[in-house]
Amino acid sequence: MRNEVKRVKKTKITIIISLLAVMMMVLCGCTTWDNFKAAFIDKQDTNTTIQIGVLEPVTGADSKAAEDEIRGIQLANKVHPNVNGKLISLVFSDDKSDIDATETAAKTLVDKKPKVILGSYGNVYSLAASPYIKEAKIPAIAITNTNPLVTKNNPYYYRVCYVTSNQGDLLARYILESENENVAGVLLPRDDDVALAEATAFTDRMKAETENDDSIAYYEEYNMGQKDYSGVLKKLAESKVDKVFLPGDYTDDANIINQAADMGLNVTFLGDSEWEDEAFFDMLSNKVTSKNVAFVQFFSADNSGIQGEAITKERRSFLKAYAEEYGHNSEPSDAMALGYDAYFVAVDAIDKAPDDATSEEINQILADPQYSFEGATGLINFSQSGDPIKTAYINTWKNGKMATIYTVEALK
């Protein structure tokens, strides 16, 4: 019995000595613990995982604003963590809400060779990352970037939200299709290039569809930050126009709408997606009704106003997953739904590409004019510039909540 115990002890000692020897050999090959950790602990088996990169400001001034994009991506990953029989690994790179840091973060991320990159929040960060993404030939999908330059001249950058100017076109389609209006107006700030681009898209659609250059019967400008709008509003009353596109800063927009309500004007003002901000709603006076405002939204949780192709399987899955994760007493934001869709577009493209496809082969799937995906936010197609041709929603504020009044289908 004693001999047996001695043999067991001797065996244990031998094993311990052997393990120590192995550790010494390993550590000799790795000059620091960090090298050892990177080589043996953090190393992922790329044969059993597929990496999707996430470029976002996890820290810094824009980190709070980027949270919903990230949550949407993470929720989608939780719902669908596999593709082609492999586990999807989200590889984050923090651009730190800083342009210079973004360049480093983008370099670091492309060096890891993810199949697709998602992000970044903030147009300037995506623009800073764009050259590195293009050089690496890795497709990237922006989530809430509305600047047209993000996708311009980069065949590897896509987006799942409309650019700002497209929203003018969507609002024109709304009044033409839903309201059967052939005449409208525009009231915009001077020296605002973004507002002018939106207004141009609006007027171009109105004139093209009606084949009437006089379909814009009211077109006036004001100075940004102006306090008294009685002059332009009197001209609006005289024009008899009751649908007016109002691009510009939403503080000015709210002041105009309030003064129009004080004057008793029965007008529907049309705005872009910034009007979904509760801060905008809080600026509106009690005289403003749901009939006085209509605005673009990229996603709507209001099922009562959703029609046609917007009722997708992914929409139902997203709302169910969101309720399970965050409860039924809150509603998902546009950014969260778009982040969810960006992830699923990436996974769908990976799935449709050949097994073990390169990033460039996956990009060919997204660039195909026939590519489409029915996401949570509706049907998504991409134009040659990488911008979406997709479903949009026209909403209003009703009893303190957003309500969908029309679904604008994607133009085929």
Tokens 């994607």 label which residue? 410
One domain for residues 196 and 219: yes
Phi, psi values for residue 283, rounded to 5°: -80, -20
| 398 falls within a domain | no
| 404 falls within a domain | no
Rounded CA gap, 190 and 173, in Å?
25
One domain for residues 158 and 169: no
One digit per residue, pLDDT tens: the chain, 412 residues? Answer: 434 433 433 444 444 444 444 444 444 444 443 443 344 334 444 568 999 999 999 999 999 999 999 999 999 999 999 999 999 999 999 999 999 999 999 999 999 999 999 999 999 999 999 999 999 999 999 999 999 999 999 999 999 999 988 999 999 999 999 988 999 999 999 999 999 999 999 999 999 999 999 999 999 999 999 999 999 999 999 999 999 999 999 999 999 999 999 999 999 999 999 999 999 999 999 999 999 999 999 998 876 666 555 567 889 999 999 999 999 888 899 999 999 999 999 999 999 999 999 999 999 999 999 999 999 998 899 999 999 998 899 999 998 889 999 999 887 5
One domain for residues 170 and 262: yes
One domain for residues 108 and 55: yes
CATH code for the domain of 268: 3.40.50.2300
Domain end (from 263, 278, 297)? 297
pLDDT score, position 11: 43
Number of other CB atoms surrounding residue 164 within 10 Å: 21
Cα dist from 289 to 56, 188, 228, 286, 300, whole Å: 38, 22, 21, 8, 20
Phi, psi values for residue 316, rounded to 5°: -65, -40
One domain for residues 281 and 319: no
One domain for residues 211 and 149: no
One domain for residues 156 and 192: no
One domain for residues 155 and 201: no
| 179 falls within a domain | yes
Q: Which amino acid is at 333?
A: S
One domain for residues 105 and 58: yes
One domain for residues 79 and 143: yes
Domain that holds residue 235: 165-297
Tell me, letter by letter, the H, E, C secondary structure of the chain.
CHHHHHHHHHHHHHHHHHHHHHHHHHHHHCCCHHHHHHHHHCCCCCCCEEEEEEEECCCCCCHHHHHHHHHHHHHHHHHCCEECCEEEEEEEEECCCCHHHHHHHHHHHHHCCCCEEEECCCHHHHHHHHHHHHHHCCCEEECCCCCHHHCCCCCCEEECCCCHHHHHHHHHHHHHHCCCCCCEEEEEECCCHHHHHHHHHHHHHHHHHHCCHHHEEEEEEECCCCCCCHHHHHHHHHHCCCEEECCCCHHHHHHHHHHHHHCCCCCEEEECHHHHCHHHHHHCCCCCCHHHEEEEECCCCCHHHCCHHHCCHHHHHHHHHHHHHHCCCCCCCHHHHHHHHHHHHHHHHHHHCCCCCCHHHHHHHHHCCCCEEEECCEEEEECCCCCEEECEEEEEEECCEEEEEEEECCCC
**Contact residues for 89 (Cβ-Cβ < 8 A; gap 6+):** 44, 49, 50, 51, 52
Provide the domain count of the chain: 2
One domain for residues 145 and 76: yes
One domain for residues 55 and 148: yes
| 35 falls within a domain | no
Instruction: Please provide the size of the chain in residues.
Output: 412
| 346 falls within a domain | yes
| 11 falls within a domain | no
| 42 falls within a domain | no
* 274's tokens: 């910034």
**Contact residues for 411 (Cβ-Cβ < 8 A; gap 6+):** 389
| 145 falls within a domain | yes
Q: Which amino acid is at 265?
A: L
Cα dist from 323 to 317, 320, 328, whole Å: 10, 5, 5
pLDDT score, position 306: 64
Domain end (from 297, 332, 354)? 297
